[in-house]
């Protein structure tokens, strides 16, 4: 079984930080082997050791990962590069984003360009304070002190400066690949660029985005879209999570009436309905809830129903290697119900048959009999 390691990361930016810090956090969320558990408030701090007078925006993230420490370091550098980071020999040079590993489990390491725990946590408030926000009881394995204790050992004036200048530009609580709390929380900003786009859209249609009913709508839309499109940043391996079991069961397995909600890629309007999934095991079965989660994995993307049906069938073939898979979906599409021909009672049925279900009419007929209303 793959080991999951808890780790703490520090983040900093002084080149367009309001754009690059949220972008870096979203990139962390979307990395297939990183789960972001929590993100700290962000803190403005003066530059250290550089003639550049642009202030830094600093924060921290608590993650769980299946990557080794060197793999994680390489992934963080990939994210930095994607955010426009250009590395130089000057460690104080301005940067779009800097992501460092402050703690990696209880590992103590100082080799190959990787040092954990980061010694700067005991010396600098811009590292220690955000880390204390998300993991105050985390024990530094080198000195036995909690991060809260390390903050208390810092000079009071520096500590108070950082606390007083907290800027909660990223939600305090985030989880998995999308927002846990879908409503607006306090004065949070979830995704500045996306919220700005929604605000522009409201202006475009003639609305007042500052009126009471719409004031927090850009935030809610950003959170909702992150949830509704979470299938892009979740993998089949994550969903299945090793819930495959050896079992000498050879009869048909059918799960029906699985609700699904998706969005049509042509108009970005919802379509929804029910799915029925069946398979003929070949020595392996899958946890019951995982079938519904596989449906959600592909439904939470911009889709067409035909592709969605095929993706679900192919995913089950990939993870189970069964004798056959059958998927039937019936959906109602708002792009046909609310606009265009406006046929409210219409629905669409799609099917995908693999293996025995495609080759054997009796197996296919049995499946169809099982899913009848």
Q: Is the pLDDT of residue 154 over 90?
A: no
Q: Which of 181, 267, 366, 370 is catalytic?
A: 267
Q: Is the pLDDT of residue 179 over 70?
A: no
**Annotation marks residue 264 as catalytic:** yes
Catalytic residue among 37, 124, 303, 305: 305
pLDDT in tens, 226-244: 888 888 767 788 788 789 9
How does pLDDT run across 309-342, given as a tens digit for each residue? 999 999 999 999 999 999 999 999 999 888 888 8
Query: pTM of the prediction?
Result: 0.59
Q: Could you say which of 18, 335, 366, 370 is catalytic? A: 335
Model pLDDT for residues 337-360, shown as the tens digit of each residue: 888 888 877 899 999 999 999 999
Q: Is 124 a catalytic residue?
A: no
Could you report the per-residue pLDDT of 42-97, keeping only the tens digit for each?
A: 787 777 665 667 888 888 999 999 999 999 999 999 999 988 888 877 777 888 99
| Catalytic position from the list 83, 264, 303, 323 | 264
Q: Which of 265, 306, 344, 359 is catalytic?
A: 265
Decide if 266 is catalytic.
Answer: yes
Strand ranges in the chain using DSSP code E only, listed in sequence order? 5-13, 34-39, 42-45, 56-65, 98-104, 109-111, 114-116, 166-167, 244-246, 253-264, 270-280, 284-286, 302-303, 324-333, 348-355
Q: Is the pLDDT of residue 174 over 60?
A: no
Per-residue confidence (pLDDT) for residue 93, from 0 to 100: 80
The catalytic residue among 4, 173, 266, 359 is: 266
Which residues have CB under 8 Å from 77's CB, separation 6+?
A: 85
């Amino acid at each position: 079984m793959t080991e999951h390691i808890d780790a703490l990361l520090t983040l900093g930016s002084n080149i367009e930080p309001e754009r690059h810090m949220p972008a870096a956090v979203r990139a962390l969320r979307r990395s297939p082997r990183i789960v972001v558990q929590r993100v700290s408030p962000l803190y403005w701090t003066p530059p250290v050791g550089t003639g550049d007078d642009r202030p830094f925006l600093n924060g921290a993230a608590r993650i769980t990962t299946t990557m080794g420490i060197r793999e994680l370091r390489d992934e963080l550098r990939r994210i930095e590069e994607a955010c426009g980071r250009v590395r130089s020999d000057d460690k104080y040079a301005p940067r779009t984003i800097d992501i460092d590993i402050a703690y990696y489990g209880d590992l103590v390491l100082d080799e190959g360009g990787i040092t954990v725990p980061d010694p700067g946590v005991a010396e600098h408030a811009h590292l220690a304070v955000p880390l204390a926000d998300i993991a105050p009881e985390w024990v530094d394995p080198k000195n036995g002190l909690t991060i809260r204790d390390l903050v208390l050992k810092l000079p009071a004036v520096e500590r108070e400066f950082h606390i007083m200048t907290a800027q909660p530009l990223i939600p305090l609580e985030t989880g998995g690949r999308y927002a846990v709390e879908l409503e607006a929380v306090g004065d949070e900003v979830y995704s500045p660029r996306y919220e700005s786009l929604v605000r522009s859209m409201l202006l475009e249609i003639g609305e007042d985005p500052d009126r009471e009913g719409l004031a927090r709508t850009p935030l809610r839309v950003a959170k909702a879209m992150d949830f509704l499109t979470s299938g892009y940043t979740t993998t089949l391996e994550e969903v299945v999570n090793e819930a495959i079991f050896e079992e000498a069961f050879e009869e048909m397995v059918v799960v029906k009436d699985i609700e699904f909600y998706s969005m049509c890629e042509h108009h970005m309007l919802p379509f929804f309905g029910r799915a029925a999934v069946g398979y003929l095991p070949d020595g392996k079965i899958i946890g019951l809830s995982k079938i519904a989660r596989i449906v959600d994995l592909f439904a939470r993307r911009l889709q067409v129903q035909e592709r969605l049906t095929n993706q679900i069938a192919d995913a089950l073939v990939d993870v189970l290697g069964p004798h056959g898979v059958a998927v039937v979906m019936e959906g109602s599409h708002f792009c046909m119900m609310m606009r265009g021909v406006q046929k409210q009672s219409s629905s669409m049925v799609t099917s995908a048959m693999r293996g025995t279900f495609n080759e054997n009419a009796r197996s296919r007929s049995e499946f169809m009999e099982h899913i009848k209303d």
